[in-house]
Structure 1
Amino acid sequence: MAYTPRAWTRTAIPSSATLHCLRRFTAGYTPALHRQVVAAGGFTAWFEKQLTSQYADTWYTTSATWWTSINASAETLWQRQVDGIEELWLADANYERWALVRRLGSQRQVLETMAELWEHHLHVPATGEVGPFRTSYGKTIRKHALGRFEDLLQAAIVHPAMAVYLGNANSSKRAPNENLGRELLELHTVGRGNYDEDDVKASARILTGYRVDSWRTWAFSYDPAHHWTGPVQVMGFAHDNGAADGRPVVQAYLRHLAHHPATARRIALKLARRFVSDSPPDALVDRLAKVYLANDTQIRPVLRALVASTEFKAASSIGKKVRTPTDDVVATWRALGVQLSARPADSESEAGANAILWQASSVGIRPFSWQPPDGRPDTAAAWSSTSRFLNSLDVHYTMAGGWWPSIGTRYRTPASWLPAARIRFDHLVDHLARSIHGRGSTSLLLQAACEATGCSPGTIITSTHDLVRWEMPRLLTVFLDCPTHMTR
């Protein structure tokens, strides 16, 4: 039978500009994502629907039921540890898994992307040491991820997870713990060089009064008897702080920091580094900071301005951000069309929804396991080591072959990658590039595919060809191991 090139229809792909936007603001390109953008009327309309939460959140609520710990109260989580049912570190691991699973299947891709960004900015490790509060903290961050930064800051700083992690849970007027007061200034808001040690001391005094009965009941409360009273002054913020209940002072102080010009620039830099480049232009950062301040610390207007900027659209920005280990793992699941077919039986089962966490760990880092309070780095230098690259190749190959994880996980069959019953190898490579990368093949990609499989460009591929029967994992890894997939 003669080969007819018109026997199959090339997969539609987005414009290079749209693809760039999708690679930056989602967990990874898929043909279904492209169809969603087209249905919305283009990227701009789709992005606005994402920013205003117009897509269903079913995946979030459904996947939350897969692990008992996700919807359990702090009291229940602690009792489960006491009763030997599930230790706190496993509950935290379940939250990390859920965060990965949410990014994998959510229709609210921009929200999940921003929730992860803020969890690293207002970092609290998922290590078990913060008690039964880590899942609650993650939910709190997500709730405010597209709202006002002031509201996000207010919710995060007084959350019991933050209180335990940075020592504010045992800070008192007699012995103020300076950890949270310092990191609030250094990492969460204005940044180094904008405050002095007197500011740190006053910051710590303002935050006293919040208590956690750690490793006993884990009860969270505010105790006026532990609040330091007296005049305080921090970077232009002044208050008589005379009342025993200092919570109104905390609220006013955090509002001041959220609206501070140095905070505006730090937030603008954080967003520009994540979505534009490792070293974003100062002019862009300055403009975004102005948008932030002019819009009452609202995050959505800043994102709109960022996407509309010439710096974001510039060729020097495209494909230059290296995917973190968690980015890589989730994007690989999405690129291969792997689906979770069953919920985990428990937190220690080998189901895919559990194993995805160990995949991320094997590549380089679990979602929230970074130990210092500065949060996971977001630059190419941090994630471009030889060991990380080799570990990524291993995950890519095992998933391309459908070998691990195998429980509760559904992979595409090798034959399902063929767009027609008979197809030339070079046309198949182009089809896979369009499906996995969102853009057509190149001569270099075709050469790599030929060398990996032993096929020539004109080889006719059918479902009975050895490539489909045995060698499809080798071909798929050509697309996963290349810079196009390893960057975003």
Structure 2
Amino acid sequence: MTDAHRPARTSYRPARFPGAPLLGTQERHLVGRFSYGVTPALAAQVRAAGGASRWFEQQLQPEQVADRRAVGLRAWWPSFDRGPADLWERQISEVEGGWEVMEDYARWALVRRITSHRQVLEVMTELWENQLNVPAVGDAQFTYRVSYGDAIRQHALGRFEDLLHAAITHPAMGIFLDNAVSTAKHPNENLGRELLELHTVGRGQFTEDDVKASARILTGYRVDLWDSWEATYSPRDHWTGPVRVMGFSDPNADRDGRPVVRRYLSYLAHHPATAARIARRLAVKFVRDDPPQALVDRLARVYLDSDTAIRPVLRALVASPEFKASVGTKVRDPGEDIVATYRVLRAELARPPAGRAGDEHAVRAMLWQVGNLGTSPFSWPRPDGQPIDSESWSSPSRVLASMDVHWTLAGGWWPKKGITYRTPAQWLPRRRIRFDLLVDHLSQQLLHRGSTATLLRACCEACDIAPDEVVSAEHGLVKWDFHRLLGTVLDSPAHMTR
């Protein structure tokens, strides 16, 4: 029905379809911020846990959350368990390029985020992999990049001190920021500087002399680049002698400098400036781009009082009035958008075959889709990691790119291999249903909230259907144009934010 034929006083008052109970606004807010999209299945898990707060507490102990299917995804890519020398040999022999392994690593992350029941762990792992960024691209660090991700995941909900130590001393970080070739005679300052500037205290807290001392402390961690790729600690390459970085000082007399590295990283992890930066990062990610200073200060105190443990800080964050008041203020970044869209459409993904035979499969295509929105997982080239603010992902070009992907997936047009989409008829909750009720049903299914007058009108105009028109499996909407309806719901601000 065109505007010329639609009654002048068409009412767009939303109808209410009697579906499964919806989470309340604050429950949906909590679950949505700490997951990759509230689906009917996730809402059922929240209700089974006794509500969002209890679900969140369960999520903070991920080892207690059954996740067999997501854990099994790793077997889709056998090269993840190959050693660095084997990976390098396969690259130079042109059996499998390192870039191919790393693209698969990014795909694994996306599919894991779609599938996993340990949603908070997935969200926090991504957060720290950005904070302690080691790009997956690169002809050297790729050899250790999967192992690096495993280390981040292991500590993602633990103490920041332990996370920091695992990351800074890991061969992947050492290769990326040149600590793997840093020696007592020729200390390389890259990691020593970024440790201070990006990973802990931040700019304005240290001097160039601090950077030099930081680099000297970190010497000794080596990787035999381009040959055996063995990662070792070499006492003869550790610089010895008194060191001072800000308020940290140490005689540093032992050739084995690993204990002094542990003491140094502990000092940085417990520094008030680090506490403030970690608190602000969490507040930006989960509250809003410009979090109140009072919230940051409170979270920093919890962090320090809890010996750098992350769980107490997250509990304090979600209990804060600032978090509760931040409903709808965060824009999904490209990865979050793609993952949330696959999740709510309930598309079933199959394991891609090895080699070129899998090029057209959905799991591989997914990486190209997210790249078209602005960036792919682990591809940010600089040490600072991809942005976590909303403004960076709110350009008109990003919105248009997202709309294109939403409609492509809503129509099931691409990808077509290795994926099973729900049919239009499967989205119908009844054999015959009024259009306004169908819009509300889909709003509940895809957005986990009731429809609004704005959404109903947008759907009516996109599909050229009046609110009271009856839809069945034989209706033209279901036969030819259902992508217009699904796509309009997915293009709504409620789906573009978390």
The answer to whether the aligner puts 1:405 opposite 2:405 as a matched pair is no
Alignment of 1:23-422 (within 5 A): 23-53=32-62, 54-129=64-139, 130-314=141-325, 317-346=326-355, 349-422=359-432
2:459 paired residue among 439, 449, 471: 449
- The count of aligned residue pairs is 481
| Residue equivalent to 1:3 | none
Q: Secondary structure at the match of 1:193?
A: coil
Match for 2:255: what amino acid? A
Q: Whole-Å Cα distance in 2 between the matches of residues 466 and 11 of structure 1?
A: 27
CA displacement, residues 251-271 of structure 1 (integer Å, 9 cap, x when unaligned): 110011111111111110110
CA displacement, residues 257-298 of structure 1 (integer Å, 9 cap, x when unaligned): 111111111110110000000010100011011111111111
Q: Whole-Å Cα distance in 2 between the matches of residues 139 and 468 of structure 1?
A: 44
- What TM-score, normalized by structure 2, do the two folds share? 0.94
Change (3 A) 1:344 1:304: farther
Conserved 8 A contact 1:67-1:346: no
Q: Whole-Å Cα distance in 2 between the matches of residues 113 and 63 of structure 1?
A: 17
CA displacement, residues 206-261 of structure 1 (integer Å, 9 cap, x when unaligned): 00111112222222111111111100011211110111111111111001111111
Q: Aligned-residue CA RMSD in angstroms?
A: 1.4
Match for 2:88: what amino acid? W
| Residue equivalent to 2:3 | none
Q: Whole-Å Cα distance in 2 between the matches of residues 59 and 127 of structure 1?
A: 28
- What TM-score, normalized by structure 1, do the two folds share? 0.96
Q: Secondary structure at the match of 1:375?
A: coil
Q: Secondary structure at the match of 2:96?
A: coil
Conserved 8 A contact 2:31-2:56: no
CA displacement, residues 111-138 of structure 1 (integer Å, 9 cap, x when unaligned): 0000000000000001033141111111
Conserved 8 A contact 1:147-1:300: yes
Q: Which runs of 5+ in 2 are unaligned?
A: 1-14
Q: Which runs of 5+ in 1 are unaligned?
A: 1-5
CA displacement, residues 282-325 of structure 1 (integer Å, 9 cap, x when unaligned): 000110111111111111110011000000001xx111111100
The Cα of 1:420 is off from its aligned counterpart by 0.6
Percent identity between the two aligned chains: 57
Q: Secondary structure at the match of 1:233?
A: strand
Q: Whole-Å Cα distance in 1 between the matches of residues 395 and 227 of structure 2?
A: 42
Q: Whole-Å Cα distance in 1 between the matches of residues 17 and 142 of structure 2?
A: 56
The answer to whether the aligner puts 1:461 opposite 2:480 as a matched pair is no
CA displacement, residues 397-438 of structure 1 (integer Å, 9 cap, x when unaligned): 110011111111110000111111110000000000011111
Q: Whole-Å Cα distance in 1 between the matches of residues 449 and 391 of structure 2?
A: 26
Q: Secondary structure at the match of 1:461?
A: strand
The Cα of 1:8 is off from its aligned counterpart by 7.0
Q: Secondary structure at the match of 2:481?
A: helix
